[in-house]
Amino acid sequence: MKASNLPVDEARLWSDLMALAEITDPNKPYTRRSFTPLFLEGRAWLKQRFENAGLATRIDAGGNLIGRRPGAKPGNGTIVIGSHSDTVPSGGRFDGTAGVLAALEVARSLDERGHVLDHDLEVIDCLAEEVSAFGISCVGSRAIAGSLTDEMLAHVGPGGEQVADALRRVGGDPDRLAQAKRSDIAAYLELHIEQGPVLETEIVDLGIVETIAGITRLELTVAGRADHAGTTPMHLRRDALVAAAAIMSALRDLALEMSDRSEGYFVATIGEMHVEPNAANVIAGSVRLIVDARAERRLTMEHFVARLRERMPDVAAQNGAELTAITTLSDVLPAQGDAALCNALTEAADALGLTHRRMASGAGHDAVHFSRIAPAAMVFTPCRGGRSHCPEEWAEPGELAAGAAAMLGAILAIDRGAAKNGRD
């Protein structure tokens, strides 16, 4: 990285990141799950930081924490920058928080450098980007895009609480969700750590994201028969967990086939399983598996789901059980980065002497939902060893500051109208 004297305060951004990371379950660093007391503690800290930076804060009906900096020409629309402050269980210190705090740093830096924008600027901490205990991701950004449905609001989580009630608890208002939907966003920019190894391996400062993979999540229900683990002879069993294991292996083979077909990026994972009754001396009577599949191209996803539906019932039957249901939990289409915003980020990176490359994102992001209603783009910064969604996740202070500086440069260009946003 050649750039020095970046127009943002690297040390201040870093100290914010480390301070927010301290708000974690001490027994499970780094954990700040959405809707929990720790999440609200993190939010209270963020709100204070937003206010210290002169931003006017509010929580919208979708539960998003918003800090607003008015522009000189009301009516020009709003430039929104941000990401999310919730984490996966035992996650890292940068996924999401880097984007929220880089956005805050950009707002502070604009003030300190005396930049008055024509556009209003908003820094957003989107609610519950990670799949929460309610089984839904991107609750806040879906609300902003107008796609948080009644069905999603009715999803039940821990203790029988519904998403709608959880939303109320964090300051949102499910009865006035229409107020969260936005039509004033001129541009959305999100900085995020790459969460993969490409930038580090290729020694490139920044990734400009052209496509974000679509994500489809399916729940597979495997039914067997619960019986005594000591007395039921092996040939008489209908073990749902054995069938689930065969399904996992067959699904991996199918995913390998799909990813080898050169139809763009494709991965599929089973990372969640619920076994009933889940006891050492009882043969599993039923198992629910959650499949998380990601494809750069929609057609690839459609092929994958069709093959899964075709093949997996046989796999279950060959292993003495029945695949009784395949339920779609969520189905998000791939998203494209706005060409003009990607160019603005590229030009800003060039002006700072930063190297960059175009890339696709295999991870989901709030930007996907913003892209449905406004021009949106993302800038990725390197992360060590490509590790993410784990406590080892790491990014260097200078790399994050470089990404924030590129975002700042792009915002100035967008504000001047130098980056044509392609939708007006």
Chain residues in the site for ligand GLV (CB under 6 A): 130, 363-364
User: Of all helices (H) and strands (E), which one includes residue 169?
Assistant: helix 163-169
CB 362 to ligand GLV: min, Å: 7
Please, are residues 305 and 218 in contact by the beta-carbon 8 Å criterion?
yes
Q: Is the dihedral of CA 370, 140, 105, 335 positive or negative?
A: negative
Binding partner of 334, given Mn ion, ligand GLV, none, CB within 5-8 angstroms per partner class:
none
Q: Note the Cα 162 to chain centre separation in Å.
A: 21
Of the candidates 414, 356, 347, the residue with the CA atom closest to the CA atom of residue 186: 414
User: Of all helices (H) and strands (E), which one includes residue 376?
Assistant: strand 376-381
CB 33 to ligand GLV: min, Å: 13
The C-alpha atoms of residue 207 and residue 378 are separated, in whole angstroms, by 8
96 forms part of the interface with Mn ion (CB under 5 A): yes
95 forms part of the interface with Mn ion (CB under 5 A): yes
Binding partner of 284, given ligand GLV, Mn ion, none, CB within 5-8 angstroms per partner class:
none
DSSP bridge pairs for 218: 291, 328
Q: Which is nearer to ligand GLV, 308 or 363 (CB)?
A: 363
Tokens of 70: 């008015």
Site string for Mn ion, 163-202 (x = CB under 5 A): ----------------------------------------
Q: Which is nearer to Mn ion, 71 or 364 (CB)?
A: 364
Three-state secondary structure call for residue 273: strand
Q: Which is nearer to Mn ion, 95 or 338 (CB)?
A: 95
The C-alpha atoms of residue 109 and residue 105 are separated, in whole angstroms, by 6
Q: Which is nearer to ligand GLV, 285 or 364 (CB)?
A: 364
Q: Which is nearer to ligand GLV, 76 or 269 (CB)?
A: 269
Three-state secondary structure call for residue 20: helix
User: Of all helices (H) and strands (E), which one includes residue 406?
Assistant: helix 397-416
Binding partner of 190, given ligand GLV, Mn ion, none, CB within 5-8 angstroms per partner class:
none
CB 213 to ligand GLV: min, Å: 8
Tokens of 147: 């796609």
CB 131 to ligand GLV: min, Å: 6
CB 182 to ligand GLV: min, Å: 22
The C-alpha atoms of residue 159 and residue 40 are separated, in whole angstroms, by 19
**Piece of 92-100, 243-251, 316-324, 415-423 that binds Mn ion (CB under 5 A):** 92-100
Instruction: By CB under 5 A, name the binding residues for Mn ion.
Output: 95-96
